[in-house]
Structure 1
Amino acid sequence: MKIGGKKQNAMPTQAVVASAAGVSQQTVSQALSGTGRISESVRRHVIEVANKLEYRPNKMALALRRNDHGTIGLIGLGDSNRSFVPNVLLQNLQASLLKIHKHLALVPVLPSEIDALKDNPGKLGIDGAFVNITRGDIRPLLNIFQSAGIPEIWINNKQKYNCVYPDDYGASFQITSFLTSRQYLGIGFVGYSRRPDRQVGENHYSVKDRYLGYRDAMAGAGIKATHFIIDEMTTDSLRSFLKMAQPSPVLLCYELNHALRVLLIAKTAGVKIPEELKIIYFHESPYWDKELDAMIRCLPIPNDKLAEAAIAMYENKNRTQAKNVRSVPVPYDSSYFKHVLTTRDYVDIVEGK
């Protein structure tokens, strides 16, 4: 029975049910949700009255109470380059969430909106928050969501709790150890920081971790580390390194752009690649150019596994209601390590041919 009067089509509220049943609105809420310490006779009476009135629960209110909107928010800063989600990671997040019947919503947050978001994170209508700030100060968004009971997972950021991130230190250590075990003993590292062993300014954690993994593996092998700053690298400095690093020189580059610049410097110096110098770099994927990929070899960042780890952490936090869980470093696929010393087509590698 819908309510008569001015709003002929209005559905009855819990307050109307409470008045008709002669009980409080709290008792109605408890009776309909199956909670609270009320007698079975009162519960049945309330349900009977609610049915007669054709009461229907407000779907949005139910979603707020149950934290079940069917959506996970991918939260980033909307006015800077401090939030970065590679396409591979984005695609895998979307595909993996569908398996648990959730959808991904992109939510850019401007600095002017942060205070309002702190006051009411629930207004976004999300069941969980994947927060992505890859550089600089993370405090503006730290703990905003989990303080409101919304599972908060940081992606591609390295903190003690609630983060999933590629294990760049482990990958750099392992690839350097792999190379030294194959008697490639003249290995240099190419980056852009003057103090790569420290966290400097707004640098991403990987700037430090990739260098430290390399440095520690070289120290473990009893070999001196050699660090190049890409902006200061010249044909002369490359030739000096090649003389020192014989018979098997390798340059491990922080990223693809560094590898391309090293390749250009090497070509200018008349160095044959990859015969006289191996160039290896970290990136989300190979360049997918057969000729170029044969000259510079990629260590793919495990963005597919990063997505899986983020969703596993969400499910764990949602199930246990834990505010803080240990961060998860996601390992690189070690099967790629052996291919840095070959010119094999990455299409064949991926397809397992």
Structure 2
Amino acid sequence: MCVPLLVLDPEPSMATGCHELPACWQTRGMDHSGGDGGRRAVTIYDVAREAGVATSTASRALSNPGRVSERTRRHVEEVASRLGYRANRLAQALPSGRTRMLGLVVPDVTNPHVFGLLRGAEAQAAAAGYTVVFADSEERPELEAAHVERLSSFVDGFVLSPRGDDAALRALAQVRPVVLFNRSLAPVPGVTFDFDDSSRQIVDHLVALGHSQVAYLRGPVTSWADGRRRAALARHCGVHGVTLTELGPFAPTLGSGPAAADAALAGPATAVVAFNDLLAIGVLQRLEARGVSVPGELSVVGGDDIFGASFCHPPLTTIAAPTEQAGRLLVDMLTGRVPGDELVLHAPLVARGSTGPPRV
């Protein structure tokens, strides 16, 4: 089931906002009736009257503070804060064409991997005076496109962890500012993880433990990251003479773990590398249910170090993907604080109890 739209609205700074708009400030509701009821939004006229300044002066102090004295700005902001004002984003957008809202569309809201991305993006957006509007595409390119179409009329740009095709993404980037997470698509800017290096770390780790037969549990066919990881694992396994078997694709969820584990046990692999941690944890659960020793009979490696990966039994060896840093950088790229290009982040291996030497 789709989670519709979640608006993350940090408290805006009183020093940022629209051009001179007399009615662009409002509150969630204050009682000015003198009684218990009659709550209404406070207008800029109320703030001006309380501050003892002209309406135009109050508006400039709140939305264009450089046009008033520092003393006046502080006074009007103090009054506005006391009365409980906040910006009306849609009213601000009328003269400028900007809402200071950013759309963030991800493939699976239930995946803890998304949490860091969302936290980083929201924190950086708040610091820049933006609001994040969040939508879940459920790993479906058509739903992703529908969300983008609905949001396009009122967001200033998009952060996408996309499942759509290259042509659609390039077409969108021609008409709206867009940055991509874990998808390299020139000339659209974005942030990716170093899949080649992280795959090298995994293979080096497994080889050092004595493994020569490895299975990769594939993720969604629409995932660019899955293709990169598969290719990198194959390349580094080839360097060491390790046999790599690809299994799947599997949905990147706990529920796909049993099928993935059973497929791995049917082959010669002594270690498996899962597309992501949710799939890897599902594999661990299935192996425990079947009485298979981990890592004695089968070592398991995950893919992104989600919250809970260290609580598994045994704790999961995985790649620590810096998703919160990625979220911050993506917003900075979208708002112009960082030059638009592709940034590649290092993702180190975290070795835990789910990997060990194979039994002889």
Whether TM exceeds 0.5 here: the answer is yes
- 1:206 has 2:234 as partner: no
Q: Structure 1 residues 156 and 301 mapped into 2: Cα distance closer, same or farther (>3 Å)?
A: same
2:344 to 317, 323, 329: 329
1:308 to 324, 328, 342: 328
Aligned equivalent of 2:195: 168
Work out the CA distance in 1 between the residues paired with 2:307 and 2:147.
38
Q: Structure 1 residues 190 and 222 mapped into 2: Cα distance closer, same or farther (>3 Å)?
A: closer
2:181 to 155, 174, 180: 155
Q: Structure 1 residues 238 and 295 mapped into 2: Cα distance closer, same or farther (>3 Å)?
A: farther
Task: Tell me the secondary structure at the aligned position of residue 203 of structure 2.
Answer: helix
Work out the CA distance in 2 between the residues paired with 1:318 and 1:146.
20
Q: Structure 1 residues 165 and 319 mapped into 2: Cα distance closer, same or farther (>3 Å)?
A: closer
Q: CA RMSD in A?
A: 4.4
Q: Structure 1 residues 254 and 275 mapped into 2: Cα distance closer, same or farther (>3 Å)?
A: same
Mapped contact 2:108–2:114 kept (Cα < 8 A)? no
Mapped contact 2:217–2:272 kept (Cα < 8 A)? no
Work out the CA distance in 2 between the residues paired with 1:309 and 1:220.
34
Q: Structure 1 residues 141 and 268 mapped into 2: Cα distance closer, same or farther (>3 Å)?
A: closer
Work out the CA distance in 1 between the residues paired with 2:104 and 2:126.
18
Deviation at 1:254? Answer: 1.5
Mapped contact 2:121–2:328 kept (Cα < 8 A)? yes
Give the share of equivalent positions with the same residue, in percent.
14
Equivalent residue pairs, number: 260
Work out the CA distance in 2 between the residues paired with 1:145 and 1:82.
24
Aligned equivalent of 1:90: 118
Work out the CA distance in 1 between the residues paired with 2:310 and 2:301.
15
Please list the CA deviations of residues 246-296 of structure 1 after superposition, one character each: whole Å capped at 9, or x if unmatched.
Answer: xxx322112234324533554465432223332111145043573x24254
Q: Structure 1 residues 133 and 93 mapped into 2: Cα distance closer, same or farther (>3 Å)?
A: closer
For structure 1, the 5+ residue unaligned runs are: 1-9, 12-53, 194-199, 243-248, 344-353
Task: Tell me the secondary structure at the aligned position of residue 213 of structure 1.
Answer: helix
- 1:132 has 2:160 as partner: yes
Mapped contact 1:169–1:206 kept (Cα < 8 A)? no
Deviation at 1:64? Answer: 7.0
TM-score by length of 1: 0.57
Mapped contact 2:215–2:247 kept (Cα < 8 A)? yes
Work out the CA distance in 1 between the residues paired with 2:319 and 2:306.
8
Mapped contact 2:280–2:302 kept (Cα < 8 A)? yes
Work out the CA distance in 2 between the residues paired with 1:170 and 1:135.
23
Superposed counterparts of 1:181-200, under 5 Å: 182-192=208-218
Please list the CA deviations of residues 304-328 of structure 1 after superposition, one character each: whole Å capped at 9, or x if unmatched.
Answer: 121122133235x4677xxxx4322
Greater CA radius of gyration, 1 or 2? Answer: 1
TM-score by length of 2: 0.56
Deviation at 1:215? Answer: 1.0
Q: Structure 1 residues 113 and 263 mapped into 2: Cα distance closer, same or farther (>3 Å)?
A: closer
Aligned equivalent of 2:265: 238
Q: Structure 1 residues 261 and 98 mapped into 2: Cα distance closer, same or farther (>3 Å)?
A: closer
Mapped contact 1:281–1:299 kept (Cα < 8 A)? yes
For structure 2, the 5+ residue unaligned runs are: 1-20, 23-55, 64-89, 137-142, 251-258
Work out the CA distance in 1 between the residues paired with 2:273 and 2:338.
42
Superposed counterparts of 1:110-121, under 5 Å: none
Please list the CA deviations of residues 44-99 of structure 1 after superposition, one character each: whole Å capped at 9, or x if unmatched.
Answer: xxxxxxxxxx7988968986777765x3412439xx97998812211221122233
Aligned equivalent of 1:252: 273
Task: Output the amino acid matched with 2:306.
Answer: S
Deviation at 1:134? Answer: 2.4
Deviation at 1:141? Answer: 5.5
Q: Structure 1 residues 61 and 208 mapped into 2: Cα distance closer, same or farther (>3 Å)?
A: same
Task: Tell me the secondary structure at the aligned position of residue 86 of structure 1.
Answer: helix
Mapped contact 1:190–1:254 kept (Cα < 8 A)? yes
